[in-house]
A = this chain, B = another copy of it.
């Protein structure tokens, strides 16, 4: 049975977790506490020398990168094709060749979406939240406001492109078409992380960032529905608890100043 190492505070970890639980995959999920630095301790570095989560071990196979982990699990367990369009077998038959071409193109669109998210939604969210909230509060490293500002710029452009290009201005419910796929999951889990911005009320909040993008907000709800709200909320439970603590601390702050 493959072992999946994650922390539900990590965005791509949640995406992998949701995929596994949604399909009841026989995967042993091991929790690694990032806030305790477990990912940088020798025991874990022996498993994953890159010192990150998520990470999958399946026999001799050692696999970093959430998108690759999800693709592999889809492949191994023959999950429904919409999550990660699989491969077509070649054929000399003309009708089959036409179908093969369509499958190639569908797969290509999927690949473009899953690659796009890295340097757009993910890079934007990650740098903004890390260099305002997570860096100083969780890892005790100083926030660099200029990097947060650069992340915000990337994120704002990414939200525009998500709405107009990937969701076709509302003409398709999910990034790659009519059904949910792994890039949707990855992007939504990243955007959810922005809820941690409650810790810094002077910084842009998730609702503000989504305000100009109703189609993105609608799509986030559609991804939650496609996953199943109970599973979605369970996967985000640890984050929600952290957000509640951050909000309480932020609310207490002005009072403390009086």
Contacts and interface: CB of A to CB of B under 8 A. Distances in A.
Interface of A: 49-50, 58, 60-61, 63-69, 71-72, 75-76, 78, 86-90, 104-105, 107-109, 111-112, 114-116, 118-119, 122-123, 144-147, 150, 161, 164-165
A147 B128 CA distance: 12
Nearest to A146: B146
Given A50-B161, A87-B89, A119-B123, 19 more contacts: A49-B164, A50-B165, A61-B108, A63-B112, A64-B112, A64-B116, A65-B116, A66-B115, A68-B114, A71-B107, A71-B111, A72-B108, A86-B87, A89-B89, A118-B118, A118-B119, A119-B122, A145-B146, A147-B147
A112 B75 contact: no
Main secondary structure of the interface of A (DSSP, over half): helix
A108 B67 contact: no
A72 B110 CA distance: 11
A68 B111 contact: yes
Contacts of A90: 78
Nearest to A61: B105
A104 B118 contact: no
A104 B116 contact: no
B50 A108 contact: no
